[in-house]
Chain A
């Protein structure tokens, strides 16, 4: 557990703590390993370069690094697509000229249409809770929100998915 304040001399310890989490976070927003690596590198280098601007009174390091990662992904797609409405790969149609890992695309086949309809923030909270198995405390730090609002948002999102996912999705599960 890193209790101390982040600075240039101990940044490598924070890197060790967050590298996997940030990579996964970005991967779930890009679905492409090499792009995720590239943007993960950019995230940590940006964080290190802007460390003087980090103010722990305004939020935790976790909130800050996730925000940099989030913005880095947004910048990546917006620059590529010249659009202000894109936040991550979920906002693109599958036939667009964007690299995706085949295995991931296949795995997401059944759920992508429903996850795509969610707002980026709702999708993020589902991903962090279900795929990353993060506690609400961790999610609240990553998203810069209170635990209570994260719990509320997750609950609402599950309700939305229940209404949107047709019976056919559940029936396919019987085949497993």
Chain B
């Protein structure tokens, strides 16, 4: 009798001692139940995607509420309209200016090693990059451990490739304060009867939300602290969702057409993005469609392109502007990641040791998968010939108080082995940075899985 059955019976006898005479039958019942236990396999991709959806929703909810409260408590209705008008006019001007600045992406070259020693930040990460709310994740796979214990063995089977000597260009995102300054100029035009704002000095507006008051309207959210701009469905103006009513899955062409039309209608500058791609998430949307699973939104990624190089995140997924199309209403629901930054660039020594790079890739790249010491199942995954792209990373900022985003030239190795639906591996690429000093920092032992709650 195993420990679990013993404990179950011990608890049962505490309630009803008379059952003890039937112990043999009870053991068999519990054993039978245990053997009948269904294998509930949660898909790591599903966990990750739902987490992203929740984090985005949290952002949205946090953005909406303070604004509503502030307007309700501080200002009367008339004043709100007046202030809103000023903000809208100013924001139109700001966004127009930003678009003009970024029509040709502003990149200021600072020469060699201008960002100092490149070091990977382990303290503060962009939550969106890991989906784990800013926790440290260096050297490990993205948090969720597969319920099925499989060790992954990467094997490079691509062609031979050349790595010439020389330098490569690393880009650093300039948060800057252009957005902040532009927004803050609004304050000069605000005249409140109850308070003289002009008496305050060096005022800055942290964020602004503009709501569109029409059916299927949007909220435009500008966060000058994070230098981010997003467009979200205005929940108050969209029909209430009923989760049990089916939505029709759309063909990729239609999804892309809806997204493209929206971007064109709102004059979003597309010069720095590649064409949109429907994100094939959650084990394949089309496969799920066959099984009758309903998705509310489908995401389309417009990969960011800088100096003709596609930008990836550290997990090997393309990074850029994300447009989410609502299937039920065949409309764009949200747009995230509209790039409004300028960049600095600097040249660094290139890693040229091909064997070192391939070994790094075969160890899982930037995200090393866990090794399960007790499992017997190993899956061989072939890596194809890499391409040079940029990968979004973070390093401590100069004041060490937060992090700076850098885009590092890296080799992106495609995982070419076809993955069956039964496995939980979802990475499509393995990323290896081409800056030697970064490569050395990441070259740490592959983590061994521990039992955890």
Partners in one complex: yes
Q: Are A48 and B58 in contact (CB under 8 A)?
A: yes
Number of interface residues of A (CB under 8 A): 59
In the complex, the answer to whether A41 meets B29 with C-beta atoms within 8 Å is no
Binary per-residue interface labels of chain A (53-68) against chain B in the complex, 1 for a CB within 8 Å, 0 otherwise: 0000000000000000
CA distance A85 to B172 in the complex (A): 60
B206 within 8 A of A: no
Chain A minimum-CB-distance residue to B65: A8
Interchain CB contact (< 8 A) of B38 among A20, A31, A156: A31
Question: Measured between C-beta atoms, what is the minimum distance from B167 to chain A in Å?
Answer: 40
User: CB distance B28 to A34 under 8 Å?
Assistant: no
Once the chains are docked, how many angstroms separate the CA of A176 from the CA of B28? Answer: 12
Among the 9-residue stretches B4-12, B81-89, B179-187, the one with 4 or more Cβ atoms under 8 Å from chain A is B4-12
Partner of B58, one of A12, A19, A129: A12
* Range class of the B interface residue count: 35 or more
Q: Is the CB of B19 within 8 A of A155?
A: yes
Indicate which residue in A35, A80, A151, A165 contacts B29 across the interface (CB closer than 8 Å). Answer: A165
Expressed in whole angstroms, the Cα–Cα distance for A42 and B30 within the complex equals: 32
Could you tell me if A158 and B12 are in contact, using CB atoms closer than 8 angstroms?
yes
Residue of A nearest to B293 (CB): A34
B104 at the interface (CB under 8 A from A): no
- Interface positions, chain A 75-124, Cβ under 8 Å from B, are 75-76, 79-80, 99, 101, 103-104, 107-108, 110-111
Interface pair B39/A158, CB less than 8 Å apart: no
Given contacts A37-B46, A40-B50, A45 and B57 within 8 Å (CB-CB):
yes
Contacting pair A36 B58 (CB below 8 A): no
List which B29-86 residues lie within 8 A (CB) of chain A: 29-43, 46-47, 50-51, 53-55, 57-58, 61-62
Decide: A19 and B38 in contact? CB cutoff 8 A.
Answer: no
* Any B CB within 8 A of the CB of A146: no
A155 touches B12 (CB 8 A): yes
- With contacts A48-B61, A75-B244, A136-B11 known, is A41 near B288, CB below 8 A? no
A28 pairs with B53, CB closer than 8 A: no
In-complex Cβ contact of A34 among B33, B40, B143, B291 (8 A): B291
Across-interface contacts of B28 in A (CB, < 8 A)? 169-170, 173
Give, as a whole number of angstroms, the nearest-CB distance from B273 to chain A. 28
Q: Are A38 and B294 in contact (CB under 8 A)?
A: yes
- Which applies to chain B's interface (DSSP): helix, strand, loop or mixed? helix
Q: Is the CB of B62 within 8 A of A9?
A: yes
Contact A107 B37 (CB under 8 A): yes
B170-184 at interface with A (beta carbon < 8 Å): none
Which residues 129-176 of A sit at the B interface, judged by CB distance below 8 A? 129-131, 133, 136, 151-152, 154-156, 158-159, 161-162, 165, 169-170, 173, 176
B15: CB under 8 A from chain A?
yes
B25 contacts partner chain A, Cβ-Cβ < 8 Å: yes
Complex CA distance for A154 and B30, rounded to whole angstroms? 12
Q: Determine the distance from Cα of A151 to Cα of B14 in the docked complex, in whole angstroms.
A: 9
| Distance A161 CA – B12 CA, assembled complex (angstroms) | 13
Q: Nearest Cβ distance between residue B115 and chain A, in whole angstroms?
A: 31
Q: How far apart sit A104 and B39, CA to CA, in the bound complex (Å)?
A: 7
B266 CB-CB contact with A under 8 Å: no
Residues of the A chain whose Cβ atoms lie less than 8 Å from the Cβ of B62: 8-9
User: Are B292 and A36 touching (Cβ within 8 A)?
Assistant: no
- Least CB distance from B234 to A in Å reads 15
* A11 CB contacts on chain B under 8 angstroms: 54, 58
B188 within 8 Å of A (CB atoms): no
B423 CB to nearest A CB, Å: 14
Q: B39–A103 contact, CB under 8 A?
A: yes
Contact of B292 among A13, A34, A131 (CB under 8 A): A34
A130 touches B50 (CB 8 A): no
Of all chain B residues, which has the CB nearest A34? B293
- Residue contact B53 to A23, C-beta cutoff 8 Å: no
Cβ-closest chain B residue relative to A47 = B54
Kindly provide the distance from the CB of A150 to the nearest chain B CB, expressed in whole angstroms.
10
Given known pairs A20-B42, A104-B39, the reply for A161 and B293 (CB within 8 Å) is: no
Decide: A76 near B293, CB < 8 A? Known: A101-B38, A154-B11.
no
5 residue pairs, one from A and one from B, having the closest CB atoms: A155-B15, A27-B40, A104-B38, A34-B293, A79-B244
Would you list 9 pairs from A and B whose C-beta atoms are within 8 A, ordered by A residue?
Answer: A12-B133, A20-B47, A24-B40, A33-B41, A34-B291, A41-B53, A80-B244, A104-B39, A170-B25
Q: A33-B43, A80-B244 provided; 8 other pairs, C-beta below 8 A?
A: A11-B54, A19-B50, A24-B40, A34-B293, A48-B54, A101-B38, A136-B11, A173-B28
